[in-house]
């Protein structure tokens, strides 16, 4: 559990550093981007290792039907995450599609994982995404992107479906059946 918590702390610190200490970050120049990226990557690796190695301590038993709710939410999370990269009509509808995707992802996983390590990981990521949105909204104005062609949104739907299949395949490969059973 210590690696998991350390990974979460590193992830959060690396992401928030730019906005909470902008002068210090600016003084670092381009090296600061590399340091932040390394901190984020190290945090991610520590979270994965810590989560996979954490003792299973049951807190609650999720009902089986929540698996279906999770999968629908995850399809939405993948779509939202992709919105940030699209140039279609939908992109300008939401200011923080990636962070919204993290929130949806975290809630979806909290619904189907009732162990302590899952609650720590997914609860922390949910809290981080909420705080990140608040900090960004307070520190930056948003210039809404102009809508692009609707066909780009259709491409986003196709990419979402492909990525959802890839993500479920990876979960299965790791020994987690995302469809229950």
Tens digits of residue pLDDT in 88-121: 888 888 899 999 999 999 999 999 999 999 999 9
Mean pLDDT of 60-76: 95
Q: Is the pLDDT of residue 19 over 80?
A: yes
Q: Report, as an integer, the average pLDDT of 125-133.
A: 97
Sole residue written with tokens 């690696």: 3
Nearest alpha carbon to residue 73 among 164, 158, 171, 142: 164
Strand partners, 115: 58
Who wins on pLDDT, 71 or 176? 71
Structure tokens at 162: 């492909």
pLDDT for position 181? 62
Exposure string for 38-67, b = 16+ CB within 10 A, e = fewer? ebbeebeebbeebbeebeeeeeeebeeebb
pLDDT of 86 > 90? The answer is no
Please list the helix, strand and coil fractions of the chain in percent, rounded to the nearest 5, in that order.
Answer: 75, 0, 25
With 80 as the cut, is the pLDDT of residue 180 above it? no
Minimum mean pLDDT range among 46-50, 77-81, 144-148: 144-148
> What span, in angstroms and rounded, lies between the C-alpha atoms of 122 and 113?
9
| Phi and psi torsions of 115, nearest 5° | -95, 160
In eight-state DSSP terms, residue 115 is: B
CA 9 to each of CA 26, 99, 105: distance values in angstroms, whole numbers, following the listed order: 22, 17, 19
Where does the pLDDT of residue 146 fall: very low under 50, low under 70, confident under 90, or very high at 90 and above?
A: confident
Token pair 């807190």: residue: 59
Q: What is the pTM of this model?
A: 0.90
Which residues are CB-neighbours of 5 under 8 A, at least 6 positions away?
50, 120
């Amino acid at each position: 559990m210590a690696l998991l918590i350390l990974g979460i702390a590193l992830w959060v610190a690396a992401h928030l550093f730019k906005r909470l200490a902008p002068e210090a970050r600016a003084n670092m120049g381009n090296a600061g981007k590399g340091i932040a990226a390394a901190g984020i990557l190290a945090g991610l690796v520590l979270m994965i290792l810590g989560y996979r190695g954490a003792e299973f301590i049951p807190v609650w038993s999720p009902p089986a039907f929540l698996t279906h709710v999770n999968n629908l939410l995850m399809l939405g999370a993948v779509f939202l995450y992709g919105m940030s990269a699209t140039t279609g009509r939908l992109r300008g509808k939401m200011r923080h599609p990636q962070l919204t995707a993290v929130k949806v992802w975290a809630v979806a996983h909290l619904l189907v994982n009732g162990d302590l390590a899952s609650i720590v990981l997914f609860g922390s990521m949910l809290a981080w995404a909420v705080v990140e949105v608040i900090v960004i909204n307070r520190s930056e104005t948003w210039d809404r992107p102009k809508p692009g062609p609707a066909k780009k949104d259709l491409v986003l739907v196709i990419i979402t479906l492909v990525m959802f299949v890839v993500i479920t395949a990876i979960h299965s490969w790791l020994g987690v059946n995302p469809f229950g059973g």
